[in-house]
């Protein structure tokens, strides 16, 4: 998914695309598990409880937002990623 429209369509809530855009949520890079809560959704115009739950659940499953890694690097945050090819052994920190 690359756009808010694609994301909303993927969860069957494309009817909110214009409302998200009008509220300034027009870029997936800024949507993540901590970006919205029920009050934000009400402000956007998502008033049906089931729709709000679906949106929040989708955001919580999304993990890193597209572009989040670049945003963290730009902010000076160093990330360490460990890869392990043999998953049968515990991962060692080094």
User: Where in the chain are the domains?
Assistant: 4-74
How many whole angstroms separate alpha carbon 69 and alpha carbon 22? 26
Give me the phi and psi of 38, to 5 degrees please.
-60, -40
For the chain, the C-alpha Rg in angstroms (whole number) is: 17
**pLDDT tens, residue by residue, 38-75:** 999 999 999 999 999 999 888 887 553 544 544 555 56
The answer to whether 16 and 40 have CB atoms below 8 angstroms apart is: no
Question: pTM of the entire structure?
Answer: 0.63
- C-alpha distance from residue 35 to each of 26, 76, 77, 89 (Å): 13, 21, 19, 36
State how far the Cα of 79 lies from the Cα of 28, in Å rounded to an integer: 21
User: Which of 1.10.10.1100, 3.30.300.30, 1.10.150.50, 2.130.10.10 is the CATH number of 4-74?
Assistant: 1.10.150.50
Torsion of CA 49, 53, 59, 60, to 10 degrees: 150
What is residue 74's predicted lDDT score, i.e. its pLDDT?
Answer: 56
């Amino acid at each position: 998914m690359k756009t808010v429209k694609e994301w909303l369509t993927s969860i069957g809530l494309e009817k909110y695309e214009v409302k998200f855009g009008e509220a300034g949520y027009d870029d997936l890079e800024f949507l993540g598990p901590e970006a919205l809560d029920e009050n934000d959704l009400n402000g956007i115009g998502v008033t049906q409880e089931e729709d709000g739950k679906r949106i929040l659940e989708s955001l919580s499953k999304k993990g890193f937002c597209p572009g989040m890694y670049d945003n963290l690097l730009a902010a000076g945050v160093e990330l360490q990623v460990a890869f392990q090819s043999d998953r049968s052994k515990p991962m060692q920190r080094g």
